[in-house]
A and B are shown apart, each in its own frame.
Chain A
Amino acid sequence: MSFNPDARQLGLIKIAVFIVCLLPLGRLLWAAYSDDFGPNPVEFVQRWTGSWTFNLLLITLCVTPLRTITQWHWLLRLRRMLGLFCFFYACLHFLSFIGFDHAFVLEDIAKDIYKRPFVSAGFAAFILLIPLAATSSNWAIRKLGGRKWQELHRSIYLTGILATIHYFWLVKATALLWPLAYSVALAVLLGWRIRERRRKAIPVPRFQSAKPLKFFKQKPD
């Protein structure tokens, strides 16, 4: 099935995705308004923002496989927004950590990041997202050049792996089911990419002109 939205339809789709991505935030605001955070409000906020950061990371990583499978190339036009929402929830998650856990005391925050391995992993994942968010504009893509930009943005794979480690280290042995489910989802999305690269790397015989698609560190002369 091919579906190719025109500019107006794509605009509507973008607005719809934007609103959907705001729903997790809406849930938080509603809970704050109706005082419905449950017995441990901070834990609720931290888990909620953490899970939605991870959900959006996985959704963002779905765009390329979905686009290849469905041939809906316009899906790519949604990826930046999804990635930025992932960063947005990561910021809320980080804020809830430095604010609720440490009342913004820098020394305590630094000590915690250094001392608790699961915090270190989460912090590293968050730091890695910053350059990606900062280079998300068209201007930055032009300035960096498509290839460099793409290489930089591949660090999202590492962020995904760090987020998984963060999640695994945080739960007890009795609650491994959820981090396990997230790591399987991530493994499928990364595995698909590895398979695609292998597939594209096989030289096509007979057609001299068909060069395998490879990304070079330097431009071949």
Chain B
Amino acid sequence: MLIRRPTALPSSEITDSAIYASRRDFIRTLLLGAGTAGFGLSHGADADDRTGQSLGSLINSPFSLHDDKPTPFKSMTSYGNFYEFGPDKESPAKHAHRLRTRPWTVTVDGEVKAAKTFAIEDILNWAPLEERIYRMRCVEGWSAVVPWVGFPFSELLKRVEVTGNAKFVEFWSLADPEQMPYIRLPLLDWPYREALRLDEARHPLSIIAVGMYGEVMPKQNGAPLRLVIPWKYGFKGAKSIVRIRFVEKQPETTWIKSSPDEYGFYSNVNPDVPHKRWSQSHERRLGEFLKRKTLPFNGYAEQVAGLYAGMDLRKNF
């Protein structure tokens, strides 16, 4: 495994500071407005909204990229898929404000000695927060570079006792029609479920992210906590997780249920295995005009290819 010491990344590289500033002003104005109005504005809103708050000082991770320029914050928060908030790329940014991130708990059950429910406040104290600048590759053919903030998934395994039967781990996203308007439509089989093999989840690159760009996770990106598996297509990273279940058999995931011939269980980024309707050999970085070559395992082959030794990756796509 190649572990490079990251050079300190100038904060100016991460996001245009003007975008930051204008956003903060905007939020401040909103808060002031809500404060002076005093009443009537809290209906349906998150009473304990942490959007935009800084996560303080972060540990630099040796797994961070340092040659790739991160995608602008504005792009990552205005463009993306979060079907619970609508089918278009712009929908999550429009509707995710309805998500209430406090109180929030995550239930861990299945093949564990004792099921447990953790409050988000405790989860945030599990480990010192790290910044992980990762490539993100969407199965649709676009990609980004995102400075996530979080800690390794393995921190969870220190807090629950997994039985010998556990081979897979399943992630359940919130599915509340009150907060997520599109849950009422049968776009997908709700709640959104994703899953990993246990050894994939244990890999040091697999993280539970609670923020990005140094801030609390924006709601449209899966607040308050989500999964980030950088060598897999983006949809494997379940957002707004409320349940983590350890299981013996490979679970059926939401996208496999929706289109079994288009989405595989592993969904490792692989330029040689085309999607049923398009090639995966190239990708377009958000903001760039010409496409660039997609790398095997999204550029993380050195670290993760060993997990799949001896497997036919065309069959196990």
A binding-site residues for B, Cβ under 8 Å:
38-43, 100-101, 103, 112, 115-118, 169-170, 172-175, 177
Query: Of residues 142 to 163 in B, which have CB atoms within 8 Å of A's CB atoms?
Result: 142
B250 within 8 A of A: no
Residues of B within 8 A of A177 (CB): 87
Partner pick for A38 among B78, B187, B188, B289, CB 8 A cutoff = B78
CB of B279 within 8 A of CB of A39, answer no
How close is B282's CB to chain A, nearest CB, in angstroms?
A: 8
B binding-site residues for A, Cβ under 8 Å:
71-72, 74-76, 78-79, 83, 87-89, 142, 187-188, 258-259, 274, 277-279, 284, 286-287, 289-291
Using A43-B142, A118-B277 as known contacts, say yes or no to A174 and B83 having CB atoms under 8 A apart.
yes
Name the residue of chain B whose CB is nearest to the CB of A117: B277
What number of A-B contacts does a CB cutoff of 8 Å give? 51
A101 to B78, CA, bound (A): 23
DSSP class of B's interface residues: helix, strand, loop or mixed?
loop
DSSP class of A's interface residues: helix, strand, loop or mixed?
helix
CB of B277 within 8 A of CB of A169, answer yes
CB of A112 within 8 A of CB of B279, answer yes
CB of B289 within 8 A of CB of A100, answer yes
Name the residue of chain A whose CB is nearest to the CB of B284: A42
Residues of A within 8 A of B259 (CB): 172-173
Partner pick for B79 among A39, A103, A174, CB 8 A cutoff = A39
Name the residue of chain A whose CB is nearest to the CB of B74: A39
CB of B75 within 8 A of CB of A39, answer yes
A100 to B285, CA, bound (A): 12
CB of B83 within 8 A of CB of A116, answer no
Residues of B within 8 A of A38 (CB): 78-79
A42 to B79, CA, bound (A): 13
CB of B287 within 8 A of CB of A175, answer no
Residues of A within 8 A of B290 (CB): 100, 103
A41 to B286, CA, bound (A): 8
Name the residue of chain B whose CB is nearest to the CB of A100: B289
Residues of B within 8 A of A43 (CB): 142, 284
